[in-house]
Amino acid sequence: MADVDIKKPESGQSFDASSGSVEVEIEWEDDTEGFDFSDLDNARNYDIVLMTGTNDDIETVKQLGSNIDNEERSFTAEIDNDLGPNGYYFFQIYTSFPNDGYTIHYTNRFRLTGMSGGTSTFTFNDGLFSHSGDQPSPQWNAGGTALKVETESFSLTYTAQSGWVRYAPMQPNPTFPVTGTNYSHRHETSDYTAYTTISHFPDAWTTTTAERTYSINSRENTAPVNSYPTYWYPPSSRVSSATLSDAKKKRWL
């Protein structure tokens, strides 16, 4: 999936704003593996927002860049030291695409020191500024954008693909009558390794299957309904009372 591949800031970096402000460099690349709506050549612009919080509770601190040209691959964010308290922050990169498509990516968390701002101006818990760890997972929405797919992508075996969007061939039209008595795999299978810990990012977002080039005719099934159990019946009609044999009756007398 061709998309935003963030290079800076790096994980664990710390920036000192005690002089009044600090500049943080943000860099990203176009991950050109595969081709779909999120190729950055198709992007309209970027918006960059300073964030804080946990991966489940992401809070906005301040928008620092808007309508950045899609040809840009970097942005210098200037952070005033009265913007918030010392703690951990990260950036959100919101990429806009035609027809309401978008992707949202988050940079690594970094630490700001020398900050003099308080937390009273924020509506969220100030404890969110102390959360470190991996950044939140990216999000995307193709919107009404039609995916541009090279037809060769559907002929590439699934196991040879490594992009975020995978491609599958068209579902074949079954022949009539069916004469086979044994089955075989039409496509090779692949080995897999099970995750031993929670994965931060998925290996693939989705699979796109080639559209059918044939039509399917169907009609109503006019076969009569069979008896049990394809229609409702009272349970009492299937239950009989328990009885004791003569031999067992003697045991209770």
Tokens of 200: 């931060």
Task: Say how far apart CA 27 and CA 6 lie, in whole Å.
Answer: 6
pLDDT for res 51: 95
Taking a C-beta distance cutoff of 8 angstroms, is the pair 113, 129 a contact? no
Greater confidence (244 vs 129) lies with: 129
Of 119, 25, 27, 118, the C-alpha closest to 79 is: 25
What integer is the mean pLDDT of 79-103? 90
pLDDT for res 137: 86
pLDDT for res 128: 92
The verdict on pTM exceeding 0.75 is no
Q: Which domains does the chain have, with CATH numbers?
A: 3-141 (2.60.40.10), 149-171+204-212 (no CATH)
